[in-house]
Each structure stands twice: as structure tokens, then as C-alpha cells.
Chains A and B, each alone.
Chain A
Amino acid sequence: MKTIFFSGKGGVGKSTLASAVAWQLMEAGNRVLAVSFDPAHNLGDIFHTKLSHRKKRFKKTDLFLQETDLEQSANEYIEANMSLLNEVYSYMQPFNMDSYFNVLKYSPGVEEYAAITAMEKLFREEQENYDYIVIDTPPTGLTLRILALPRITVAWIDRLVKLRKQILEKRYTIHKLSGKYSEKGTKLAYEESEDRVMQKLLEMRERYQNVRNWLESDKNSICVVFNPDYLSLRESQRLMTGVKELDLPMHTVYHNKLDNPNSEIAQKVEQDLLKGRSDVTIERVPDIAEPEPTCYIMDKNLIQTFQENT
């Protein structure tokens, strides 16, 4: 399986291109899943069909469509955790738990968390089912945060694991010398295999490391879509720098809505964008005059670059 992310400023046509690529890959004989993480959700509009978080087969072809609502996933996640926590802490209130969850609800990161969880699930469960997963991403800032998240999380978990190891080591010492931990009513774990916190940490680490490995592998590619204007240029530059800093693979950028490739602005934008980036090739996509939702039968071949990599 391979994954392709489409990112870029809102309105540059990343959903359109993602749809076109997904369609063409299917036509080339692949089983393809197109997923939208973009809260704007254009995927359904493009294919003229109503989509939900359940996969939907498109007109009996090998193309499957799905829209993941990040906000909803975030809420579901919070609900699940809250009920678990209330269960555990029902008999004691070391401090005001409820207020903590209120904070959690608005806290930054929950949406990213939902996205990464959904992504992890996709990578894990659908590996055998599809040849390609094409992902339409939310706006740039959120996308970068989502892509960075596995790495940051793993770094944090590593720190926490180290600290936890020290705790367990010292607990072991105490157990060894005074036997206290095995005698007293509340038994504190001193072995890594018995410590639920440690187990949870390691489990989380593995999960995020898997996502991270996948994102950094050559089975993944991040594509940037931009238009011949300075606003989208700036945003694309930020995106490209961000992706490079994260060591994520990026081979193709799409110059979309391009009427005249020789126009001064189009050339300037391309030049600026490719400055010092010999590893990236540009695909020029002409503007489709009519905003017909038929782009998936676009005549330009967009999928060469992905098939070459195979």
C-alpha cells in the first residue's frame, strides 16, 4: 500500500487534484481509498455523492470514498476518556477533575490527536485492502501539526519512559530493602512488566512510532498544491519547509489553475518555490474553465509520478 497526502492553502484545488489522482489510479487498475480530513469536505461534492465516516464504494468501481470528521472524532475521544476517568476517580477527588476535562475539551491538540488516531487506524487496518490511500488534508497549519505530532509525541514519550524507568528502579530498591511495596495495602508496581503506566507508555510509543515510520517511509508522499499567486506561494513555501524539517518524503508539487505557464507571475512563483529544491518536480495543471465536478476524468495524466516510484 502507498499513501499520498494532498496539502496546500484553502481553495487551491487540492480536493480536486486528490480526487483526480484517486480516480486515475483506480482506472490504472488499483484499489484506491480516498479520505478527506478536511473539515470543508469537498470530496462528496466532487463525486456528487453523500459521504460519511464509513467507506463508500464509488459506482461499483475500485474507488472507495470516506470523510472523517475530526471534530466529531475528537469529541468521541473525549467522551470515552471522561467516562473512563470518572469511573476510576469516582471515589476520590484529589483535585477538581471536571475542570480538567473542560480544559481538555478546548485544549489544542485534540483535533490533531483525532486525526493521528484515524490515520494510525487507516495505516494499520487497511494495509492489505488497498493499493493506494489518497488523503485530502485540512488547512496548512493543522496539517503540519498533524504530520509533526507523531515525532513530537515519540520524543515526549521517550522522556517519560526514561523518568518512569528511574521511578521503577527506585521503587525496586525500596522493595528490595524494606519489602514495603509488597506488604502494604496499595501495591505499587516496581517491575516494568507490572507497571500499567509503563505499559501504556510503551504501547503509545509503538503506536506513534509506527505512524512516524510510515510517514517517513518511501511508501508515503506528500504533495503540495499551489496556484500562480503570491499568497499560495508563501503558504506553499512554509509547507515545504515544514515537511522537509520533518524529514517527510515530498517529490511532487502541483501548479494548479495554470492558464499561461509563461506568464511572469507563474514563472516567478515556480522559481521561488523550487529555489534549492532539486528533489521536487513540478506538475503543471491547467485551469479547468468550467468548475464542473467531472475533474476525475481530467485528461492530463497525474499519476505517472506515483507509479514511477513503485
Chain B
Amino acid sequence: MTTLIVVVGLAVYVLLYLTYGKKLEKNVVKATDDETPSKRMYDGVDYVPAKAPVLFGHHFASIAGAAPIVGPVLAMAWGWVPGLLWVWFGNIFIGAVHDYLSLMASVRYDGRSIQFVASDVIAKRTGKTFYWLVFFLLILVIGAFGAVLGNMFIANGQVPSAYILKLVAALILGVLLYRVKMNFTVATIIGIIMLVLAIIGGHQMPINASYGTWMVVMFFYIIIASAVPVNVLLQPRDYLNSWLLYIGLAIGGIAAVFSFTGFTAPAFTSFAPIVSGGQPSPFWPVIPLIIACGSLSGFHALVGSGTTSKQIEKESHALPIGYGAMLTEGFLSTIVIISVSGFGLSIIQGAGQDLTVANWGNAYAGAMNASFGAATTFTNSYAAMVDSTFLTILPTEIVKVIAGMWVASFAMTTLDTTNRLGRYTLTEILLPLKDKNEGMFNFLTNRWIASTIPAIIGIYLAWSGSFTILWPSFGSANQLIASIALLTGAAWVIKRQKAKNANIVLIPAYLLWITVTAAIIWFSVIVLPGTIESNPTTGIVVLIIEIVMLIMNFVFIIDFLKNKNKPLTSEA
């Protein structure tokens, strides 16, 4: 079964890439042979053409993270089919289209961002809302990933131990590379040896601490890591991470193909099983809040229209890079679903949880959280899947640590980079305050204050440990950005491209807007009241964010409808 789904998944992605993707390229985007900004505006600084395969790898590494792993695990509550369908078709018809359009709109706008395009084709204030949404996203992503990591670390003390050892290895690697100025290849070999030692060392010396302790550690880690010069810690760490990613992907890919195991998880439970906050969660409209990256992520619009669009060599490269990388990420989510479908049940049962195929719909989310949490449920399933193939020669415990470190590294990278971005977005948001109250403005945008605000709120949220609340709220911010970006793409297609087939973008964009709006309303009305009762501060903070986002969302759609058919004043 695992093997079958891998093959079918691959076939679906490749087939639709060649048909639907190509159609988009030809009819909607109308790719030309014109020079791209990387050549037309070449400056050797920001605008530099990159070879397509290299840029693909780069773009993929930027969009891949822990989210496409965690989301699908939670979505398993619906059974494996609904999640898989969303990861396949949501991705192909919405997510990848969104990524591709953002990238191409940016290319046609001289490499300017989707934020700029939105200001141009919709309204000035639409551009501004990006700062707010990204700022909320940062807070919620710290909350959600903090909870993921906290659960991971208490589920398996070997993972944090190995991670800490890896940080030490990264520091040493940094010294070897930049102080001792060692040869790169030699340093890499030493780095990989240290990485292996860190994994073994972590396995030997697990650190067992409480959830609260990990939250405190994480808070200080965020503060310190964002103050350290990049090449001391982060750069060598990211370098080691990427090796980990390749090792993890290679082992996982081989295991998924050669594990001829049947699925133990049910294919479909019910339309509204218990997913978020202990409430029955209807597949529509909730699914995009649960599986964001993997099918659709607003963040990708920013990534694609940020550095990727300035480096793309030819317009024809945009399809494999923008559309293709997103499908690849969907494939990663597919492997996650496969491994949990094959092995999740026995793993959660093994932890003493009362989970069966019969009660799956109502018990899965609770049991999964109570036993390991989403990330570890995946990493243990992954290890079991590896064990079921000829790769069983690898010690299972070590594979668990490798997979755990792989996911933890992704999530950790997110945590310490949010802080760097937090201050910037906050300053932009508070700019109007400057004229009214300069003292207050200076205080809030002070280096230490501004960069700790997201960390303080985020870690506070994570502290509550309500993963099934935090995860969808992170999803809501993310999908809202996606919705705005996709409508921006649609407006671009209508106004600039004057495409006849604009509806193939406009219809998914409207559907997405309606879905996300409905999902946020559902989340605020059905789920959050319960949270406010059990955990007032967390519930209220999340509710405030949701309400502000909802208001912005309506302002946005009004602006969109008003300006959709207005002629443009500027020249692109």
C-alpha cells in the first residue's frame, strides 16, 4: 500500500504538472522569451541569474520546513484519504498555482514583491496588511512550533540532547571554517563526523526535562541565537542541517518505496471528527488551517517574490521552480501521510493509548497529542517504516534521533529567525505611531523590546501546550496571506495579463477566500470560546489576533472587488 501510494502520488504530480501546469504557463502566465529581471537588471548584487536546478534546490530549501510534516499528521484524524486528497489536489489547483503566480507576477514587476504587486493592482493598504499578517504569523508560528518542539523534547529526551550537541558541533565547525580558515572539504568531513557523534551522543545521554523547562530554554535560545552573528552559529548549523535533510529525505524516500506495508489507519472517519480544541471539525472549511504548507502556504508568495524572482534566468524556468518545488513539498507531505498511515496506529497504541480503527475519528487527535505529539508520531512512524525495509540494518533508535533532529532543526531554525523578522515588521506596523507619540514608538521599536515581543507572546502561547489550538491559528494567518496573495495573482492576471482564462485562477481564489473566512469564523466561534474558558489568556490573545485578521480580510475583499476591473494607472 505504501509503495502504491508513493507511485500514484508521483504519477498524479507529474501528470498534472505536464497538463495543468503547462496550461497555466501557456494561457494564463503566457511565458515569453523576454529577458527576466535577473538579466535585464543584472547588477551582480541582487539581480543575478542562477541555473534552474540550483535555484530549484534553493527555492525548495526555503519553502520546506517543519510545517509540511506536522500538519498532515494532525489531519490524519479525518483518515488518510481526505488529507491526501488535499495534499494532492489542493496543492495542484491552489497551492502550486499560488506559488507560481506570485513568482511570475514578481518577475514581470522587475522582481518586486507580491506585497508591492498587491499595492499596485489592488490597493495601497493591501500592501500594508502584509506587515500585520506576517507579524501575527510570527507570533503564532513561535507558539505552534514551540508547542511542537516542547512535545518532541519531552517525548524523546535524546532529540534535544542530540540537538544541543549539534549546536556545539556547529560552533566548532564555525571556528574551523572562519577562524582557523580550514579547507572547506576537510571541514565538511569533520562536520559530518561531528554530526554523527552528536546523534550517537544524544542517543546515549538523553536529557529529560519538563515541558515548562523546555519553554524557558527555548525562550532564551531565541533571544541569544538572534543576537549572535550569523556566521558564528547559524550558518554552520544550517549547513549541518542541510546534510541532515538530505540524509533524512534519502532514507525516507527509499523506505517509502520499498516498504510494502498495508495501511492500518482508516481511510475515512467522518466529515467532522475531533481535530481542533476537542471540537468536531468539519473537513470544509477547516482543512486548510490544519494542512497549510504541503498544499498551500502564503509564506511561499513572499519567498518566491523575494529573492527567487530576482535570480530566475528564463521565464520558462518559473514553472519547474515555482510550481514544481511546491509539488515536491506536497510529495514530502505525502510521505508523511504514508508513514503515519502505515505505522501510526501501533505506535500510539504502544504508548498505552486507547486508539482503534473504530474510534479513530474521535480519539486520534487526543491520543496522538497525549502520547507523542505530532512530530514524534511522524518520526517514530518514519523509523518504523525504515525498519520494515532492508534499511532495517540501521538501528531504529538512531533513525528516530535522526528523524527527530531533522524535524526539530527545521522548527528551531524557524524559531530563531522569527525574532529577526519580528522587529522589522513591528517597526513598519508602528510607523504611523511615530508622529503621534515618538517616545512610545522609540520604546516599542527598541532593539530588545521589539525583537522580544513576538518571542514573549509566542512562548507564552506555547506554554499553554494547546497544540490543537495553536496549530490551526498559525494555519489561519498563513492561509490568509495565501488568500490575499492568490487574489493579488488573480488581479494581476485580469489587469495586466488580460488572460481569457482568468477564471481558472479567479475561481480558486474566491473559493479560497470563502474557505479561509469561514474557517476563521468557525475557529473563533466554535473552538476559541472553549479555550477562553479553560485557558483564558491564550484564548483571548488568539481571539484578538483572529478578529483583527478577519477585519483585515473583509477590508481586503472590498478593496479587491472595487479595484478588480479598474484600469491601472501605472505602467509595469
Bound pair: A and B? yes
> Contacts A173-B177, A176-B177, A176-B184 known; A185 to B44 CB distance under 8 Å?
yes
> Contacts A169-B178, A173-B178 known; A186 to B239 CB distance under 8 Å?
no
Q: Which of B44, B48, B178, B235 contacts A172 (CB 8 A)?
A: B178
Contacts of B231 in A (CB 8 A): 170, 173
**A177 interface residue (CB < 8 Å to B):** yes
Contacts of B239 in A (CB 8 A): 177
A185 to B231, CA, bound (A): 25
Within 8 A of B (CB), among A156-186: 169-170, 172-173, 176-177, 184-186
A170 to B231, CA, bound (A): 8
Contacts of A177 in B (CB 8 A): 177, 184, 235, 239
Q: Quick check: B44 and A173 within 8 Å, CB to CB? A: no
Within 8 A of A (CB), among B32-60: 44, 48
Interface 1/0 per residue, B227-253 and A, CB below 8 Å: 000010001000100000000000000
Determine which residue in A172, A177, A185 has the highest number of CB atoms from chain B within 10 A of its CB, and name it.
A177
Contacts of A186 in B (CB 8 A): 44
A164 to B178, CA, bound (A): 16
A185 to B48, CA, bound (A): 11
Contacts of B178 in A (CB 8 A): 169, 172-173, 176
A176 to B235, CA, bound (A): 12
A169 to B44, CA, bound (A): 19
A173 to B182, CA, bound (A): 11
Within 8 A of A (CB), among B340-370: none
> Contacts A184-B44, A185-B44, A186-B44 known; A173 to B235 CB distance under 8 Å?
yes
Contacts of A169 in B (CB 8 A): 178
Contacts of A185 in B (CB 8 A): 44
Contacts of A170 in B (CB 8 A): 231
A172 closest partner in B (C-beta): B178
Interface 1/0 per residue, A213-227 and B, CB below 8 Å: 000000000000000
Contacts of B48 in A (CB 8 A): 184
A178 closest partner in B (C-beta): B184
A104 to chain B, nearest CB (A): 26
Within 8 A of A (CB), among B311-358: none
Q: How many A-B residue pairs have CB under 8 A?
A: 20
A170 to chain B, nearest CB (A): 7
A278 to B184, CA, bound (A): 64
A177 to B44, CA, bound (A): 18
B48 closest partner in A (C-beta): A184
A175 closest partner in B (C-beta): B184
B172 to chain A, nearest CB (A): 15
Contacts of B184 in A (CB 8 A): 176-177
Contacts of B235 in A (CB 8 A): 173, 177
B175 to chain A, nearest CB (A): 12
B210 to chain A, nearest CB (A): 38
A138 to chain B, nearest CB (A): 43
Contacts of B177 in A (CB 8 A): 173, 176-177
B133 to chain A, nearest CB (A): 31
A136 to chain B, nearest CB (A): 51
B231 closest partner in A (C-beta): A173
A58 to B501, CA, bound (A): 94
Contacts of B44 in A (CB 8 A): 184-186
Contacts of A173 in B (CB 8 A): 177-178, 231, 235
A186 to B184, CA, bound (A): 22
A185 to B45, CA, bound (A): 12
Within 8 A of B (CB), among A46-60: none
A303 to chain B, nearest CB (A): 58
A309 to B426, CA, bound (A): 64
A184 to B184, CA, bound (A): 19
B384 to chain A, nearest CB (A): 36
A177 to B48, CA, bound (A): 18
B212 to chain A, nearest CB (A): 37
A162 to B44, CA, bound (A): 25
B227 to chain A, nearest CB (A): 16
Within 8 A of B (CB), among A176-200: 176-177, 184-186
A16 to B184, CA, bound (A): 69
Contacts of A172 in B (CB 8 A): 178, 181
A166 closest partner in B (C-beta): B229
Within 8 A of A (CB), among B170-184: 177-178, 181, 184
A188 closest partner in B (C-beta): B44
Determine which residue in A172, A173, A185 has the highest number of CB atoms from chain B within 10 A of its CB, and name it.
A173
Contacts of A184 in B (CB 8 A): 44, 48
A120 to B178, CA, bound (A): 39
Contacts of B181 in A (CB 8 A): 172, 176
A40 to chain B, nearest CB (A): 49
A94 closest partner in B (C-beta): B43
A173 closest partner in B (C-beta): B231
A229 to chain B, nearest CB (A): 49
A169 to B184, CA, bound (A): 16
A187 to chain B, nearest CB (A): 10
A173 to B239, CA, bound (A): 13
Interface 1/0 per residue, B48-87 and A, CB below 8 Å: 1000000000000000000000000000000000000000
A169 to B177, CA, bound (A): 11
Interface 1/0 per residue, B180-203 and A, CB below 8 Å: 010010000000000000000000
A176 to B181, CA, bound (A): 8
A273 to chain B, nearest CB (A): 46
A280 to chain B, nearest CB (A): 47
A203 to B181, CA, bound (A): 26
B231 to chain A, nearest CB (A): 5
A170 closest partner in B (C-beta): B231
B236 closest partner in A (C-beta): A177
A197 to B184, CA, bound (A): 27
A176 to B44, CA, bound (A): 18
A10 to B213, CA, bound (A): 75
Within 8 A of B (CB), among A221-242: none
B396 to chain A, nearest CB (A): 34
A178 to chain B, nearest CB (A): 10
A186 to B43, CA, bound (A): 10
A151 to chain B, nearest CB (A): 31
A186 to B178, CA, bound (A): 23
A267 to chain B, nearest CB (A): 54
A184 to B48, CA, bound (A): 10
B236 to chain A, nearest CB (A): 9
B177 closest partner in A (C-beta): A176
A177 to B188, CA, bound (A): 10
B178 closest partner in A (C-beta): A173
Interface 1/0 per residue, B417-459 and A, CB below 8 Å: 0000000000000000000000000000000000000000000
A216 to B184, CA, bound (A): 48
B153 to chain A, nearest CB (A): 30
Within 8 A of A (CB), among B221-280: 231, 235, 239
Interface 1/0 per residue, A121-147 and B, CB below 8 Å: 000000000000000000000000000
A169 to B239, CA, bound (A): 18
A272 to chain B, nearest CB (A): 45
Interface 1/0 per residue, A233-264 and B, CB below 8 Å: 00000000000000000000000000000000
A165 to chain B, nearest CB (A): 13
A interface vs B, CB < 8 Å? Answer: 169-170, 172-173, 176-177, 184-186
6 pairs of A and B residues whose beta carbons are closest in the complex:
A173-B231, A186-B44, A176-B177, A173-B178, A176-B184, A170-B231
Can you report 11 residue pairs joining A to B where beta carbons are below 8 Å apart? A169-B178, A172-B178, A172-B181, A173-B177, A173-B178, A176-B177, A176-B184, A177-B177, A177-B235, A177-B239, A186-B44
B interface vs A, CB < 8 Å? Answer: 44, 48, 177-178, 181, 184, 231, 235, 239
In the complex, besides A173-B178, A177-B184, A177-B239, 4 extra interface pairs with C-beta distance below 8 angstroms are A169-B178, A173-B177, A184-B48, A186-B44
